[in-house]
Amino acid sequence: MTSIYDCKVEGIDGKEIDFADFRGKKILIVNVASECGFTPQYQQLVELFNANKDNFIIVGFPTNEFGNQEPKKNEEIAEFCQLNYKVTFPLAAKMELKSNPVYKWLSIEEENKSIDTEVKWNFHKFLINETGGLVASYPSAITPFDESILDWIQSES
């Protein structure tokens, strides 16, 4: 995979998420879990997405590999996200990040031509610019409303 735009993943609803559809938009990719101490970040993610839909997309990747904090099946995850946070941004089908081509590209500098990153917990955030370049990686404790993320979304690239 040479670009994020080369990637397609199964969505939580069984439909394909094609990253080429997001060309020209800023992308925030985040691994999510419904039973994590950081789960309330869903609220900020929803607010951020709703306020910036024209030029910004969020893609959530449910995973159970950090502390077994996403034990639910895809339909239960989708229901949880809708009932508790009214999530409307795309969610991938639940998967292991380490075997996912998107996360391989995000984590390995040789692949993304930017940075090496190890995802250590749920709600790790990656920022991708309008041309598909990885620009930043933020650990779980950095919230979606962190000034650096808000400034990036509002900036002209």
Q: Give the residue numbers marked as catalytic.
A: 36
- What does DSSP assign to residue 23? T
Residues 6 or more apart from 138 whose CB is under 8 A from it?
124, 125, 126, 127, 146, 148, 149
CA distances from 33 to 8, 12, 63, 72, 156 (A): 21, 13, 6, 9, 31
Tokens of 115: 């940075």
In this structure, which amino acid lies at residue 105?
Answer: W
- In a 3-state reduction of DSSP, which class is residue 49? helix
Q: Where are the beta strands (DSSP E) in 37-85?
A: 56-62
